[in-house]
Amino acid sequence: MIQKIGDIVLIQLSELDSNIYLIGNTVIDSGTGFNFTRLYSLLKSLNLSFDSIQQVINTHCHFDHIGGNGYFLNAKIAIHSEDAKVLETADPELSMAGYFDGKLKPRKPDILLEDGQKLKIGKHQFQVIHTPGHTPGSICLFDPEKSILISGDTVFADGVGRTDIPGGDQEKLYFSIQKLIGLKPKVLLPGHGKPVLKDAYKVLQALEEERDSI
Ligand SMILES: [Zn+2]
């Protein structure tokens, strides 16, 4: 399924795959890689191909977000430095490849991302926001001009990312969510499920309050 949010294309391949966001020739998260032919034809319908993608940005090191990286032969792979080692070693536990019954090839990332770094993607100027908690090197991307937050598995429209997994840390996750509330995002483009197209910060505030009431 394809959904257009302005010039950002959201691709959803299956329940297992992460959301894949396409902006110009950049892909944000690549899914499991299990649905190669489906992704091939969806890209074709957009007049794109695997080879035309120049950059893949991974919001974190989990298999359902990085498993498809290898299909983009011409793309540079970018990930936060604290999750980079998982790509390099293809650790089945930290990448959760074992959990998804998938196989990863070790791959040294081309670009290491850091908090505060600016990334020009298509017409957008994104800021890298380091949001540890779901994994140590989880990142979000924020476009302050359009108030768009791409949040990976840190937050979703209806919940927060799991922390009961290797590398997870609940305290850090909630600290990260507070950081995101401070950005006052209007649009939330999460790593799974539906996007939030207005007042996204209210969703984040509600998640924060839910936690306080536990
Ligand atoms: Zn994840």
- Exposed / middle / buried, residue 45 (Cβ in 10 Å: 0-12, 13-18, 19+): exposed
Q: Taking the alpha carbons of 161, 162, 166, 169 in that order, is the dihedral positive or negative?
A: positive
Cα 186 to ligand 1 centroid, rounded to whole Å = 23
Which residues 6+ apart lie within 8 Å of 213 measured at CB?
none
Cα 18 to ligand 1 centroid, rounded to whole Å = 8
Q: Is residue 44 within 8 Å of residue 78, measured between CB atoms?
A: no
Cα 170 to ligand 1 centroid, rounded to whole Å = 14
Cα 5 to ligand 1 centroid, rounded to whole Å = 23
Alpha helices in the chain (DSSP H): 36-45, 63-66, 81-89, 170-181, 200-212
Tokens of 72: 């983009």
Q: What is the DSSP string of 184-201?
A: --SEEEESSS--B-S-HH
- Map out the domains of the chain as residue ranges: 2-212
pLDDT in the model for residue 202: 95
Distance CA 66, CA 57 (A): 9
Cα 98-79-14 angle, rounded to 5 deg: 50
pLDDT in the model for residue 213: 63
Cα 129 to ligand 1 centroid, rounded to whole Å = 16
Superfamily of domain 2-212: Ribonuclease Z/Hydroxyacylglutathione hydrolase-like (3.60.15.10)
Among 81, 69, 57, CA closest to 105: 69
pLDDT in tens, the chain (214 residues): 999 999 999 999 999 999 999 999 999 999 999 999 999 999 999 999 999 999 999 999 999 999 999 999 999 999 999 999 999 999 999 999 999 999 999 999 999 999 999 999 999 999 999 999 999 999 999 999 999 999 999 999 999 999 999 999 999 999 999 999 999 999 999 999 999 999 999 999 998 888 766 5
Tokens of 116: 């505060």
Tokens of 90: 């293809």
Cα 199 to ligand 1 centroid, rounded to whole Å = 24
Q: What is the pTM of this model?
A: 0.96
pLDDT in the model for residue 39: 97
Cα 93 to ligand 1 centroid, rounded to whole Å = 12
pLDDT in the model for residue 183: 97
Q: Residue 162: how many CB atoms within 10 A of its CB?
A: 15
Distance CA 127, CA 119 (A): 6
